[in-house]
Homo-oligomer: A and B are copies of this chain.
Amino acid sequence: MLPVAVDAMGGDHAPAEIVAGAQLAADAGIPVVLVGRADDIGATDLDLIEASEVIAMSADPTKSVRTMKDSSLVRCAEAVRDGRASGMVSAGNTGAALAAATLRMRRIKGVARPAIATPLPKPSGGLPNVLIDAGANIECTPELLALFARMGAVYTRARFGTAQPRVGLLSNGEESSKGTATVKEAWTLLDQAPWQVATSASFVGNVEGTDLLSDDVDVIVTDGFTGNVALKTLEGAARGIIAALLTAFDADDDARKGAELLLPALAPLYDRMNPDTVGGAALVGVNGICMISHGSSSAKAIFHAVKTAHELAESGLVPELTAALA
């Protein structure tokens, strides 16, 4: 079984947390190979692909990928392209990961632009909904949104086993008359039967911001600008509410005692909402598996991303996408 290539140099806590996460995966029986500078990584039993350069978090994505040919990110993408890895994981520069994967693995036939598919963890505990595009393509045509719908449906089946993904189009109201001109045209494209039949998906019409965590939809299609804003709004809201709860839990002796009694009931909720356990976002539409993790990823987050990359490779996501988009 091919290993998952892990960019040991990318992320706010690289290489220590990344290597620790890769080790957790190896301990769980998932084959991994680190990619990066041996000197920085230090002592490890894990396999290593040496890469002498590191693309900084703030570097210009396309330029750095084109010029830093021995960077850990580029070497990760090449390992997947060359059949030496089943997929890659990076918590580094998101734009550079996107560029490296697109330039080295190439796009699947029929994919005008790859997109980022991000799972949205639900406080209710149901399967996460998938938001696509969560930030790769800032300006989108209706045709691109229709492509994201097809890719999102296939991805959601491979990732979560959803037999018939329900696909919604993010807009400012449920009626088909709502939205920008682009969204309204996308609605018309998505309302056609053939793509729904080809991907075993169903189009449920427009959905709103209140539906991001809804159990009535599986895939939420939007452009990368709106998707990024919505995703970060969810993150900020969850963080703000949790911070306020923790303050309340420590308000006085009664509150502290109450919080202690509640802990067993609250722990699973906290775990569900913890982005570390979700497994990160996937770049969908390239000829290979590429997981894009949060810059702040912990070892636990990297472990889940590696596990997801491994499972996606086993699930046959790329051949399924290739068939569905042919």
Chain A residues at the B interface, C-beta cutoff of 8 Å:
122-125, 135, 138-139, 170-173, 179-181, 183, 208-214, 222, 224-226, 228-241, 243-245, 248-249, 251-252, 254-255, 257-266, 268-269, 273
Contact = CB atoms under 8 A, between A and B. Distances in A.
Contact of A254 (B214, B231, B261): B261
Most buried by B among A124, A208, A254, A261: A261
A273 B242 CA distance: 13
Contacts of A245: 245, 266, 269
B138 A179 contact: yes
Contacts of A264: 251, 254-255
B122 A240 contact: yes
Given A235-B210, A240-B122, A252 B229 contact: no
A273 B231 CA distance: 20
Most buried by B among A135, A211, A230, A269: A230
A245 B260 CA distance: 15
B248 A269 contact: yes
B257 A237 contact: no
By Cβ-Cβ distance, the 3 closest A-B pairs, closest first, are A209-B232, A258-B261, A209-B233
16 contacts: A123-B243, A170-B229, A183-B225, A208-B228, A210-B232, A210-B236, A211-B236, A212-B236, A213-B236, A225-B226, A233-B237, A234-B237, A241-B273, A244-B269, A248-B269, A252-B265
Given A138-B179, A230-B209, A236-B211, A244 B170 contact: no
A172 B228 contact: yes
A97 to B, nearest CB: 15
A198 to B, nearest CB: 28
A259 B208 CA distance: 32
Contact of A180 (B138, B172, B266): B138
Contact of A259 (B209, B233, B235, B262): B262
Nearest to A262: B258
B236 A123 contact: no
B237 A238 contact: yes
A234 B213 CA distance: 11
A246 B173 CA distance: 28
A209 B230 CA distance: 7
A261 to B, nearest CB: 3
A280 B74 CA distance: 51
Nearest to A267: B248
